[in-house]
Structure 1
Amino acid sequence: MRRLLTALVATALVVAPAAVAHADPAGTGWTLVFSDDFNASTVDTAKWNYRTDSKAYSTQRPENVSESGGTLNIALRKETFGGKSYTGGGVVSKQSLRYGYYETRAKLNDGAGWHSSFWIMSGDGSTTFPASQRTEIDAFEIDSITPNRIHHGVLTWKGNGVSAGKSYGTTYNSSTIDSRDWHVYGLDWSETSAKFYVDGALAYTAPYLPSDWTHDYTNIWLTSIAYGTVPDDTKLPATVQFDYVKYWQKDYYLDNDGPAAYGYSETGTWLDSTLTGWTVASPTRYSACNTPGNTATWRPNLRSAGNYQVFYYKVAAANSDPATRLDVTSSGTVSTTTVNGTSGMSGWVSLGTFAFPSGTSGSVQLTSSGTGCARADAVKFVRA
C-alpha cells in the first residue's frame, strides 16, 4: 500500500511546503523516470513547455508561471490579454510517457472561477485540442468554487477536439479533503485501467482497455485556467502551487511504430498490413509471405534489472504464419517459442518469464518460417 503523506498547509506563497517523503507506487520493480521538484529559480524549459492557449475566461501566459521556495507557482490574475479578462497558466512536459504511476502534490487557490488540474494528454500546451490527442486521463480536476469536490476520469479523442465516444469518470465531495491545503494526487495507468489516488488512498478505478481506444503516449499537464464560472475578483491575484511531479515505470511496451518503436528493427521484406494490433488503430506489419528468414526484433531499454514476463502480440489471420519463431534473449541465453498465427484469436501470447539486466541486451526476435505471412506488432515486458 502506498505510504500516506501528510497534507501540509503553506501559509503564504513565500513559505515553502514542509518536507515530506514522496509516496512510492504500490509493489516493487518501479523506476523513477521523470521528475521535477521545482527547486530552481526558473522553470526548466528543457523539461517543460508553457500552456499558452485562450480558453473559457482566461488566456494562459508563461509570465504567470514561476518557481520559488521549492514550488511551481501559477499566478491567477485579473488582466486583459489575448481577448480574455483573466490570465492563468501551466506547464506541459516535453517528454511523452505512457503506462506507469504519476504523482504530484498540490495546493490550490481560494475563490471561485478557476479550474485546476493534473492530467495527461498528448500536446505542447498551445491548444487543448491538438490533432494528436487520443487519450486524456485527468488525475484530478477541481473547480475552486467547490474546493472539496474532485473529479477523476478518462476521455477518448479522435483529435482536434472530436470525441471518440468513450469516457469513464467520477466526481465526488470529500469531507476530509480541502484542495486549498496540500494534498498528494496519484494516477496509476496500466493496460487495463486507470487508478486514482488521493493522499495514498485509492479513490476510483476507471476501466480502460486497449479495445476501448488508442492508448497513446501522453504529456503531463499541470495547469489552472478561469473556467466554469466568472472568477471572484475579490480573491485575486491568487496562486496555485505544485510541490513536485514524478513518474515511475515498471512495464515496457514496444511497438512497430510511434515512440515505442525505439527498439524495433526488421530484416528482409516487410509491408504495412490492414490488420490492427493490440490497441485501437495500432498498425501492424507482415513479412513477405511464404518467404523464410524475415526477422523483426524488439529490444527494450530496461531501466531496472529484474524478472519480466515477456509477451508477443499475435495477430491472428487465416494466412498468418503457422510456425512463427520467437526467440527471447535474456542474460546471454536464448529461449524459443513457436506461435501458430492461424489459430485462435488475436491477443497476447506469453513467451515465459526471464531475468534481464538493465539496458538493451535483452530482446525478442521473430523469424518467419516460410509458410504464410509472419506478423509483427508489439511485445511487452511485464515486471514479475
Structure 2
Amino acid sequence: MHKGFTKSEEGLYDEFEERTPYWDYRTDNYASISVRDSKLTLCSGPTEALYYSNAEISDGRFDDLPWETKTFEAKLRMSQLHYGSAGWGFWNHSMLFSLSRPIWFIHLQSRGPYIFQGFFAQAVTGFIPIKIYRGSLLAPSLISRLTGGAIGVTIYTHKPVLQNLDLTDWHTYKIEWLKTEAKYYIDGSLVARLPINAGSFKARADIWIDNAVFGYNRRDAGQVYRHLTQENRSKSCIEVEYIKIY
C-alpha cells in the first residue's frame, strides 16, 4: 500500500503524498512530472512551435481501460492560460474520428485561427463553453446545430456559462458519467450537461497539459485528430491536490 492512495474495483483515491506505480506517467519532449509536498505537478514547456511537448498521467491504455459510467473528481489549478491544451476527466485512448470518446473539461488556445479559444465541457463531439478567451462561438454553434454536427462537432450554446472562472485558482471539478449523458460540476455547482450518444464503452482517467490544439480534416488519411503545435516561451503547469474515481 502507498501512503494517501487507495484502489478497488469500485474506484480510487490519490492525494499524491507519494508517487505510486499505479499511474502511467508520460512526458514528451520539454515536459516534466513531479510529486512533492502532497501535490502532483505536470508541466509543459518552454516549447518549440514545431514539436509536441506533453505531460500526462492516466490509468489505462487502448483496450486495457478500467472505468465505465463512473464519477471523476479532482482539485487542481493551472499556472496560466497557455497556448495548447490541458484537460482532465475520462478518455478511451483513441484519436480516431470514429472512435474517440472524451468526457472531460478541456482548455484550448492557439495563436492562429481556431474555433475553440476557451475552456469547455466536452462529451464525445459535443461542447459547452465554460469560459471563452476570445472570439465568438455564435456562428460555429449555429452551423453545428443546424447541420447535425457536420463540421465534426456540435456546440450546444455559444454563451459561456461561467465566464469569470479563474482557472489559476484552486477549484474542485467533477464529472458524472452516466449511460446517456454527462454532468459537469465546478465547486459543487452544475455548469453543464451533455448527451452521450456513443453506446457502451470503457475509458481511463486522464490529466494532461501540452502545447497542441487538435485539428479535424474529414479528408485526413489516418482519419485522426492531428496535433496543431504551438510555441510557449515559458513553462505552464497543472497542480493537482487529489484525484477521486467513484
Q: Do the two structures share a fold, i.e. TM-score over 0.5?
A: yes
> Matches of residues 353-364 of structure 1 in structure 2 within 5 Å?
none
SS in 1 for 2:244: strand
Say yes or no: does 1:72 pair with 2:40.
Answer: yes
**CA distance in structure 1 between the aligned counterparts of 2:12 and 2:34, rounded to whole angstroms:** 20
Say yes or no: does 1:186 pair with 2:174.
Answer: yes
Say yes or no: does 1:90 pair with 2:78.
Answer: no
- Cα 1:99–1:89, aligned 2, differ >3 Å: closer, same or farther? same
1:131 Cα shift?
10
Say yes or no: does 1:136 pair with 2:102.
Answer: yes
**CA distance in structure 2 between the aligned counterparts of 1:102 and 1:245, rounded to whole angstroms:** 7
**CA distance in structure 2 between the aligned counterparts of 1:243 and 1:225, rounded to whole angstroms:** 20
Q: Is the 8 A contact 1:168 1:206 kept in 2?
A: no
Could you tell me which residue of structure 2 aligns to residue 218 of structure 1? 203
Could you tell me which residue of structure 1 aligns to residue 13 of structure 2? 35
AA aligned to 1:39 is E
Q: Whose RCO is larger (CA < 8 A, sep 6+)?
A: 2
Q: What TM-score, normalized by structure 2, do the two folds share?
A: 0.64
Say yes or no: does 1:151 pair with 2:136.
Answer: no
> Matches of residues 161-240 of structure 1 in structure 2 within 5 Å?
172=160, 174-208=162-196, 212-228=197-213, 230-233=230-233, 236-240=234-238
Q: CA RMSD in A?
A: 3.4
| Percent identity between the two aligned chains | 18
**CA distance in structure 1 between the aligned counterparts of 2:83 and 2:47, rounded to whole angstroms:** 14
- Cα 1:195–1:219, aligned 2, differ >3 Å: closer, same or farther? same
Say yes or no: does 1:107 pair with 2:107.
Answer: no
- Cα 1:222–1:61, aligned 2, differ >3 Å: closer, same or farther? farther
Q: Is the 8 A contact 2:73 2:245 kept in 1?
A: yes
Higher normalized strand content (fraction of residues): 1
AA aligned to 1:92 is S
Could you tell me which residue of structure 1 aligns to residue 222 of structure 2? none
Q: Is the 8 A contact 1:184 1:200 kept in 2?
A: yes
**CA distance in structure 1 between the aligned counterparts of 2:157 and 2:70, rounded to whole angstroms:** 21
1:181 Cα shift?
0.9
Q: Is the 8 A contact 2:77 2:171 kept in 1?
A: yes
Could you tell me which residue of structure 1 aligns to residue 218 of structure 2? none
Could you tell me which residue of structure 2 aligns to residue 50 of structure 1? 25
1:116 Cα shift?
0.9
1:182 Cα shift?
0.8
**CA distance in structure 2 between the aligned counterparts of 1:131 and 1:143, rounded to whole angstroms:** 18
1:238 Cα shift?
3.1
AA aligned to 1:142 is H
Unaligned runs of 5+ residues in structure 2 are 1-8, 111-116, 126-149, 214-228
**CA distance in structure 2 between the aligned counterparts of 1:217 and 1:166, rounded to whole angstroms:** 21
**CA distance in structure 1 between the aligned counterparts of 2:199 and 2:12, rounded to whole angstroms:** 23
1:91 Cα shift?
0.6
Counterpart selection for 1:116 from 86, 92, 99: 86
- Cα 1:98–1:167, aligned 2, differ >3 Å: closer, same or farther? farther
Deviations 1:328-356 (A, max 9, x none): xxxxxxxxxxxxxxxxxxxxxxxxxxxxx
AA aligned to 1:120 is F
1:110 Cα shift?
1.6
**CA distance in structure 1 between the aligned counterparts of 2:84 and 2:230, rounded to whole angstroms:** 8
Deviations 1:189-240 (A, max 9, x none): 11121101111100011122xxx3232010011000102473441xx12321
1:132 Cα shift?
10
Q: Is the 8 A contact 1:48 1:93 kept in 2?
A: yes
Q: Is the 8 A contact 2:162 2:191 kept in 1?
A: no
- Cα 1:173–1:205, aligned 2, differ >3 Å: closer, same or farther? closer
SS in 2 for 1:78: coil
Alignment: residue pair count = 188
